[in-house]
Structure 1
Amino acid sequence: MRDQWNSKLGFLLAAIGSAVGLGNIWRFPYVAATNGGGAFLLPYFFAIITAGIPILILEYTMGKTYRAGAPVTFARINRRFEWLGWFQVMISFVIAIYYFAIIVWCLSYIGFSFTQAWGNDPTRFFTEDFLGLTDSALNLGGINTSLLLPFLLIWAVSAFIMYKGVSKGIETVCKICLPILFLMTLILVIRGITLPGAVDGLNYLFKPDWNALKDPGVWVAAYGQIFFSLSIGFGIMLSYSSYLPKETDVVNSAFITATANHGYEIFAGIGVFSIMGYMALQQGVSVEEVAASGIGLAFMTFPTAISALPALNAIFGVCFFGALFIAGITSLVSILQTVVTGFHDKFEVSHKKAVTIVMVPSFVLSFLFITGAGMNILDIVDAFINNIGIVSAGVIELILITRFFDAEKLRREANEFSNFSIGRWWIYTLRIVTTVVLGMMIVLNTREYLANGYGGYASADINVFGWGTILFVVVFADVLTTMKGKDGYRDLDKISYKEVN
Structure 2
Amino acid sequence: MTEQKKSEWNSNLAFMMAMISSAVGLGNIWRFPNVLYSNGGGSFMIPYIVSIFLLGISFVLVEYAVGFKFKRSIARILYSINEKLEPVAWFILIVVFLITTYYVCVVGWDLIYIFLSFTKAWGSNPDLYFTNSVLHSTDSISGFFTIVPVVLASVFAIWFIAWFIIKRDLNDGIGNVSKILLPILCGIVVVIVAFSLTLPGASAGYTQIFTPDWSALGNLDVWLAAFGQIVFSLSLGMAIAMTYASYLPDGSKLVDNAIIVAFSNSGFEVFNSIGIFSILGFMTVTSGIPFNELVTSGTGLAFVVFPQVFNTMGPAAYVIGPLFFLCILFAGITSVIALLEGVCYSISEKFLIERKKTATVVCIIGFCISIIFTTGIGSTILGIFDAFLNNFALLFAVLLECIVFGWIYKFDDLIETLNAHSTIKVGKTWKIVIKYILPICILGLWIQGVISTINEADTLSSIVMLILTIVVIVVPCIIALLPARNKNYYEHKIYSK
Compute the TM-score of the two structures, normalised by the length of structure 2. 0.96
Q: Equivalent residue for 1:380?
A: 384
SS in 2 for 1:49: helix
TM-superposed deviation, 1:440: 0.8
Q: Equivalent residue for 2:451?
A: 447
| Contact 2:37 2:295 (C-alpha < 8 Å) held by counterparts | no
What does 1:85-484 correspond to in 2, within 5 Å? 85-136=89-140, 139-450=143-454, 452-454=455-457, 459-484=458-483
Q: Equivalent residue for 1:491?
A: 491
Work out the CA distance in 2 between the residues paired with 1:141 and 1:26.
31
Work out the CA distance in 1 between the residues paired with 2:470 and 2:394.
14
Deviation sequence 1:188-208 (CA, Å, 0-9, x none) = 101111111111111233321
Work out the CA distance in 1 between the residues paired with 2:31 and 2:198.
23
TM-superposed deviation, 1:433: 1.4
Letter in structure 2 aligned against 1:463: S
2:19 to 12, 15, 24: 15
1:46 corresponds to 2:50 = yes
TM-superposed deviation, 1:76: 2.2
Runs of 5+ unmatched residues, structure 2: none
| Contact 1:39 1:210 (C-alpha < 8 Å) held by counterparts | yes
Work out the CA distance in 2 between the residues paired with 1:34 and 1:467.
31
Q: Which runs of 4+ in 1 moved over 6 A?
A: none
TM-superposed deviation, 1:312: 1.3
Deviation sequence 1:155-187 (CA, Å, 0-9, x none) = 222111111132110111111100110011011
| Contact 2:78 2:89 (C-alpha < 8 Å) held by counterparts | yes
Letter in structure 2 aligned against 1:344: S
Deviation sequence 1:3-55 (CA, Å, 0-9, x none) = 11111110111111110001100000100110111111111110111110011
Work out the CA distance in 2 between the residues paired with 1:249 and 1:492.
25
Letter in structure 2 aligned against 1:39: S
Aligned length: 489
SS in 1 for 2:225: helix
Work out the CA distance in 2 between the residues paired with 1:433 and 1:349.
40
SS in 2 for 1:83: helix
Work out the CA distance in 1 between the residues paired with 2:7 and 2:188.
31
TM-superposed deviation, 1:150: 2.4
Task: Say if 1:129 and 1:188 are closer, same or farther in 2 by CA, change over 3 A.
Answer: same
Letter in structure 2 aligned against 1:394: V
What is the root-mean-square deviation of aligned Cα atoms in Å? 1.5
Letter in structure 1 aligned against 2:83: R
SS in 2 for 1:165: coil
Q: Equivalent residue for 1:499?
A: none
Work out the CA distance in 1 between the residues paired with 2:42 and 2:348.
45
Work out the CA distance in 2 between the residues paired with 1:444 and 1:428.
24
Runs of 5+ unmatched residues, structure 1: 495-501
Work out the CA distance in 2 between the residues paired with 1:138 and 1:179.
44
Work out the CA distance in 2 between the residues paired with 1:293 and 1:264.
17
| Contact 1:137 1:374 (C-alpha < 8 Å) held by counterparts | no
Work out the CA distance in 2 between the residues paired with 1:254 and 1:52.
9
| Contact 2:391 2:453 (C-alpha < 8 Å) held by counterparts | no
Letter in structure 2 aligned against 1:233: G
**Percent identity of paired positions between Structure 1 and Structure 2:** 35
1:5 corresponds to 2:9 = yes
TM-superposed deviation, 1:138: 7.1
TM-superposed deviation, 1:69: 2.0
Work out the CA distance in 2 between the residues paired with 1:390 and 1:471.
15
| Contact 1:113 1:314 (C-alpha < 8 Å) held by counterparts | yes
TM-superposed deviation, 1:137: 6.5
| Contact 1:134 1:141 (C-alpha < 8 Å) held by counterparts | no
Q: Equivalent residue for 1:497?
A: none
Task: Say if 1:432 and 1:181 are closer, same or farther in 2 by CA, change over 3 A.
Answer: same
Letter in structure 1 aligned against 2:489: Y
Q: Equivalent residue for 1:64?
A: 68
Letter in structure 1 aligned against 2:38: T
TM-superposed deviation, 1:389: 0.9
| Contact 1:65 1:246 (C-alpha < 8 Å) held by counterparts | no
Work out the CA distance in 2 between the residues paired with 1:281 and 1:473.
48
TM-superposed deviation, 1:364: 1.0
| Contact 1:32 1:205 (C-alpha < 8 Å) held by counterparts | yes
Work out the CA distance in 1 between the residues paired with 2:398 and 2:152.
36
| Contact 1:66 1:492 (C-alpha < 8 Å) held by counterparts | no
| Contact 1:25 1:324 (C-alpha < 8 Å) held by counterparts | yes
Work out the CA distance in 1 between the residues paired with 2:470 and 2:435.
27
TM-superposed deviation, 1:493: 8.4
SS in 2 for 1:487: coil
| More displaced stretch, 481-490 vs 461-470 | 461-470
SS in 1 for 2:315: coil
Work out the CA distance in 1 between the residues paired with 2:209 and 2:314.
23
Work out the CA distance in 1 between the residues paired with 2:285 and 2:144.
39
| Contact 2:206 2:278 (C-alpha < 8 Å) held by counterparts | yes
| More displaced stretch, 411-420 vs 441-450 | 441-450
Deviation sequence 1:275-324 (CA, Å, 0-9, x none) = 11111111113210111111100101111111211331111011100000
Letter in structure 2 aligned against 1:464: I
Letter in structure 1 aligned against 2:159: W
Work out the CA distance in 1 between the residues paired with 2:155 and 2:450.
33
SS in 1 for 2:189: helix
TM-superposed deviation, 1:382: 0.9
Task: Say if 1:17 and 1:157 are closer, same or farther in 2 by CA, change over 3 A.
Answer: same
TM-superposed deviation, 1:146: 2.0
TM-superposed deviation, 1:136: 4.5
SS in 1 for 2:280: helix
Work out the CA distance in 2 between the residues paired with 1:228 and 1:108.
25
Task: Say if 1:74 and 1:273 are closer, same or farther in 2 by CA, change over 3 A.
Answer: same
Work out the CA distance in 1 between the residues paired with 2:151 and 2:444.
40
| Contact 1:204 1:287 (C-alpha < 8 Å) held by counterparts | no
